[in-house]
Amino acid sequence: MKNIAVIGAGTMGNGIAHTFAQFGYKVQLIDISEEALKKGLATITKNLDRMVAKEKISETDKKTTLDNISTYTNVKDGVEYASLVVEAATENVDLKLKIFKQLDEVCAPDTILATNTSSISITQIGAVTSRPELVIGMHFMNPVPIMKLVEIIRGYNTSDEVTSTIMELSKKLNKVPVEVNDYPGFVANRILMPMINESIETLYNGVAGVSEIDTVMKLGMAHPMGPLQLADFIGLDVCLSILNVMYEGFKNPKYAPCPLLVNMVMAGKFGVKSGEGFYDYSESKKAEIVAKQFS
Q: Are 86 and 139 in contact (CB under 8 A)?
A: no
Distances from the Cα of 289 to the Cα of 16, 19, 52, 115, 273, angstroms: 19, 20, 18, 27, 11
Give the per-residue pLDDT at 213.
Answer: 98
| 174-232: pLDDT as tens digits | 999 999 999 999 999 999 999 999 999 999 999 999 999 999 999 999 999 999 999 99
Confidence bin at 1 (pLDDT 50/70/90): confident
Confidence bin at 35 (pLDDT 50/70/90): very high
φ/ψ of 71, rounded to 5, equals -120, 150
Asked if pLDDT for residue 291 goes beyond 60, the answer is: no
Mean pLDDT of 135-161: 97
Q: What is the mean pLDDT of the chain?
A: 95
Distance of CA 259 to the CA centre of its chain: 25
Nearest CA-CA partner of 139 in 180, 99, 100: 180
Give the per-residue pLDDT at 146.
Answer: 94
Give the per-residue pLDDT at 122.
Answer: 98
DSSP helix/strand/coil, 122: helix
Confidence bin at 41 (pLDDT 50/70/90): very high
Confidence bin at 289 (pLDDT 50/70/90): low
Asked if pLDDT for residue 290 goes beyond 90, the answer is: no
Specify the range with the lowest mean pLDDT, choosing from 96-110, 208-222, 273-287.
Answer: 273-287
Confidence bin at 285 (pLDDT 50/70/90): low
Q: Half-sphere exposure (CA, 13 Å, Cβ side) for 61?
A: 16
Please give the Cα distance from 12 to 14 (Å, whole number): 6
Per-residue DSSP letter, 219: I
Mean pLDDT of 77-91: 96
Specify the range with the lowest mean pLDDT, choosing from 138-152, 187-201, 279-293.
Answer: 279-293
Give the per-residue pLDDT at 165.
Answer: 98
Mean pLDDT of 220-247: 96
Containing 275, the helix (H) or strand (E) segment is: none
Asked if pLDDT for residue 40 goes beyond 80, the answer is: yes
Give the per-residue pLDDT at 284.
Answer: 57
Enumerate the active-site residues.
118, 139, 151, 189
Please give the Cα distance from 52 to 258 (Å, whole number): 42
| Paired strand residues for 114 | 86, 136
**What is the percentage of the chain residues whose pLDDT exceeds 90?**
94
Cα dihedral 108, 129, 191, 40 sign: positive
Q: Half-sphere exposure (CA, 13 Å, Cβ side) for 117?
A: 35
Confidence bin at 294 (pLDDT 50/70/90): low
Three-state SS for 130-193 is CCHHHEEEEEECCCCCCCCEEEEEECCCCCHHHHHHHHHHHHHCCCEEEEEECCCCCCHHHHHH
DSSP helix/strand/coil, 3: strand
Asked if pLDDT for residue 288 goes beyond 90, the answer is: no
Cis peptide before 177 (omega within 30 of 0): no
Distance of CA 293 to the CA centre of its chain: 15
Please give the Cα distance from 242 to 226 (Å, whole number): 19
φ/ψ of 249, rounded to 5, equals -75, -40
∠ Cα 121 123 129 (to 5°): 120
Give the per-residue pLDDT at 86.
Answer: 98
Buried b (16+ CB within 10 A) or exposed e, 231-250: bbbbbbbbbbbbbbbbbebe
How much is the pTM?
0.89
Give the per-residue pLDDT at 282.
Answer: 80
**Rounded (10°) CA dihedral 40, 172, 79, 82:** 160
Asked if pLDDT for residue 79 goes beyond 60, the answer is: yes
